[in-house]
């Protein structure tokens, strides 16, 4: 088994001592959750046909549409 060393802020360390936290279990679970999430994202991205350029274009279109929507909403509230 690999070892990982972490530094805890003093406040967290005091709280952990009071609560008797099993750090090994806690870190192992959280690390496992994060790795599973990354694996899912990698699978999704591997199947994606969206290029960086088309993603940026889509993002710009969404931003423009939202800004127009909010401007119209603000104008209607001023009346």
Query: What is each CA distance from 36 to 3, 33, 40, 43, 65, in whole angstroms?
Result: 20, 5, 6, 11, 34
Condensed to tens digits (0 to 9), the pLDDT of residues 22-57 reads: 888 888 999 999 999 999 999 998 888 888 899 999
Instruction: For residues 64 and 58, give the distance between their C-alpha atoms in angstroms, rounded to a whole number.
Output: 10
3-class SS of residue 19: helix
- Tens-place pLDDT, residues 57-71: 999 999 999 999 999
């Amino acid at each position: 088994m690999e070892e990982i060393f972490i530094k805890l802020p003093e406040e967290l360390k005091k709280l952990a001592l009071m609560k008797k936290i099993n750090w090994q279990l806690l870190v192992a679970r959280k690390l496992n959750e994060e790795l599973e999430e990354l694996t899912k994202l990698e699978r999704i991205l591997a199947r994606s046909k969206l290029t960086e350029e088309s993603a940026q274009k889509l993002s710009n279109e969404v931003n423009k549409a939202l800004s127009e929507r909010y401007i119209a909403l603000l104008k209607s509230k001023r009346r």
